[in-house]
């Protein structure tokens, strides 16, 4: 389990349930590495600012994370983390590598409001 203050997605079934039952979801699949930790920190701050969005993390190396690792939107991604943004059960944006808080806010404002 990742050592963050975010809710954790632990299974592919839970992932499916979360995106089906929540209008706006951001899930960051990564490790506790230097490219991932800043994304988790930004998400922890932004969850207060965007109460209508469910912010979650998922362990990239878990077999269950295949739902993000193998998603067509992530084809060709090289750097961790892989971050997926869902609206009404559909992927509206996917990013790879480090994202700063302002970059994430722009994506949220454009795709999940």
Residue 111 makes CB contacts below 8 A (sequence gap 6+) with 85, 87, 92, 93
Q: What is the pLDDT of residues 18-38, one digit of tens each?
A: 999 999 999 999 999 999 999
- CA distances (Å), 68 to each of 33, 49, 56, in order? 18, 25, 13
Residue 53's pLDDT is what? 97
Tokens of 66: 């295949």
Residue showing tokens 């389990």: 1
Residue 70 makes CB contacts below 8 A (sequence gap 6+) with none
Tokens of 88: 């009404």
Domains and CATH numbers, the chain: 7-111 (3.40.30.10)
Q: Is 101 in a helix, a strand, or coil?
A: helix
The helices-and-strands tally (H runs, E runs) of the chain is 4, 5
Residue 1's pLDDT is what? 78
Residue 83's pLDDT is what? 98
Q: What is the residue-level pLDDT of the chain in tens, covering all 113 positions? A: 799 999 999 999 999 999 999 999 999 999 999 999 999 999 999 999 999 999 999 999 999 999 999 999 999 999 999 999 999 999 999 999 999 999 999 999 999 98
């Amino acid at each position: 389990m990742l050592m963050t203050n975010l809710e954790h997605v632990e299974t592919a079934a839970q992932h499916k349930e979360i995106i089906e039952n929540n209008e706006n979801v951001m899930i960051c699949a990564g490790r506790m590495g230097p490219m991932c930790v800043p994304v988790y920190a930004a998400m922890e701050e932004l969850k207060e600012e965007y109460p209508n969005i469910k912010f979650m993390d998922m362990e990239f190396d878990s077999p269950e994370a295949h739902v993000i690792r193998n998603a067509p939107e992530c084809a060709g991604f090289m750097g961790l983390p892989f971050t997926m943004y869902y609206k009404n059960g559909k992927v509206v944006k996917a990013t790879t590598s480090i994202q700063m808080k302002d970059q994430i806010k722009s994506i949220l404002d454009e795709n999940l409001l």
